[in-house]
Chains A and B, each alone.
Chain A
Amino acid sequence: MNTTASTPTGGSFQGVNDFKLIGRQVHYEQLSFWLNPLGAIFTIGFSTVFLLIFESTSGKSTIKALGGIKLIQYYVPGFVAYGIMSSCFSVLSITIVNRREMGLLKRLRLSPAPTWILMSAVFINTMIVCVIQIVLMLVVGRAFGVHGPANWVPFLLAVVIGMFCFTALGMGVSTVVPNADAAGPVINIVFFVVLAFSGLYYPITPGSTLANITDYLPVRRLIVSMQDSFNNIPGTSPWAWHDLGVIAVWGAVGVYLTLRRWQWAPRRG
């Protein structure tokens, strides 16, 4: 039997609670993530594998320029930043492009579930994956004798601003990638090249040409702000306001790009 149409009032209807709907939607987002175990393990385990490789090859090496900290102590904050960037930027943007090109975004848009609920669930799911990566990195780091953040409040602030920035950039970049085939290669190649030049794999000397260029990018700024909050490096403050400011500006660029270019329908259509 069909429901009898009553006079439409406002944008709501009885029977479906919005907050329950967010919970359900997050559940299905998580389900979708974990039902693809290869993708989930690769996303979450990638930084751990990197850390294991670096630890096994670097031994007891230290970095003089950063107050003589162990190399592994340098990598852990960097890979915490990587966890934020990979889940909020590369995984999110590739997922969004794939969903758009498969018509999944269009189908969801045509359902009665409000856009804010659908998008909130995507962001909450991204945050969950991100937090899992951060916690895993801290635990693995601790196993190698790496201490956690020396200053938790600046660390958490950097995490929150980093999540905002890279989620916004992930959404924004998804709007300029034309098709699903291009999404993985284009996003990952750009992402990993910028990571390499921003000091994820080796320290970049402040004031060098490379540092002067990558200082304009949020990737370097997030890595540096993580280092500062973790390591109490002499001459640096755990409150990396300048870094966080640059990251926030890039987040605003991502929001602008998303609002200007967002589309629910496949580009091929």
Chain B
Amino acid sequence: MPAVSVSHLAKSYGDMAAVKDVTFDVEKGEVFALLGPNGAGKTTTIEILEGFRDRSGGEVQTLGVDPSNRATQRWLRTRIGVVLQELAVEPFYSVRQVLTRNAGYYPSPRPVDEVIELIGLQEKADQRVKKLSGGQQRRLDVGLGIIGNPELLFLDEPTTGLDPSGRRASWDLIRQLAASGTTVLLTTHYMDEVEALADKVAVLFKSEIVASGTPTSIGGRDSGIVTIQFRLPEGVSVSDIPAPSPTVELGIVRTSTDDELKVLHELTGWAIDRGYALPGLAVTRVSLEDIYLSLTRDEQ
């Protein structure tokens, strides 16, 4: 049984559809990323899965139960963790106080000191929340999400506003949680975050899923056009290069193909025959960001 199962989910406010016909599964222990521009329906989808918002249509199961079912909602909430998009921590409590309070809501919480260590706030444990930097408050937010020792963690743009080291620390924490069996469903605008963390990804655009798959295969990324590039050897004219429509910019030759094996074979054979080294030779696939932008082009 998947940790999350969404089938033809719909949510509308009056005539406006916030989510239309969304279908995806998140397997247990998986890190699943939901991508999409602002207003695409990511937060609405997550809120329905958390049981915070009711749906207008379709079927949803979170940890095997319908999240809108009031009879099992409390049971469900002991087993999920939520990190909201907006920073939401009381300013006057200390880090330890706010974590201790929230730990009391759960039947089997993580030890508070363990969470403080996981989020790297040992030095700030007794400091008031309002004295923390924005990044430290965001880490505390994540701490509140995991204090209940969740089986399923929802992270709505968890690293927005963090500096690079803070982002890396958050990534490490998410990897650690995933390695211990926690299922993670996250939304983000950062493609590097998806590539670093996600096992699977789905792109929401105009309230619908327009593509899904692994970060390396989504949108035909694993079978599409690749770019081959290298530094132009001295004394060679671009017209001599045995590759489809090569271009030269600042001494770098670039050529695109969907048959990289054949082009590479011809190119390297040609270089070896003539004694050229082809410095900086690299083959790059279309980036996840390129795929994302092409899938959501109307909006950009």
Interface residues of A (CB under 8 A from B): 1-3, 5, 8-16, 21, 24-25, 28, 31-32, 35-36, 102-104, 106-107, 109-114, 264-266, 269
Contacts and interface: CB of A to CB of B under 8 A. Distances in A.
B74 A112 contact: yes
B254 to A, nearest CB: 44
A25 B101 CA distance: 8
Chain A interface, >50% SS class: loop
A2 B180 contact: yes
Interface string B139-173: 00000100011110000000000000000000000
Contacts of B181: 2
A110 B50 contact: yes
Nearest to B51: A110
A106 B84 contact: yes
B106 A107 contact: no
B75 A8 contact: yes
B148 A107 contact: no
Nearest to A10: B71
A266 B72 CA distance: 25
Query: Secondary structure of the B side of the interface?
Result: loop
B104 interface: yes
9 contacts: A2-B149, A2-B180, A3-B108, A11-B74, A13-B107, A31-B97, A103-B88, A110-B50, A269-B86
B104 A21 contact: yes
A35 B144 contact: no
B151 A3 contact: yes
A11 B144 CA distance: 22
A112 B84 CA distance: 16
B86 A103 contact: yes
Nearest to B78: A112
A107 B82 contact: yes
B116 interface: no
Given A13-B74, A28-B93, 12 more contacts: A2-B150, A5-B151, A8-B71, A8-B72, A12-B74, A13-B107, A31-B92, A31-B93, A35-B93, A110-B82, A112-B105, A266-B86
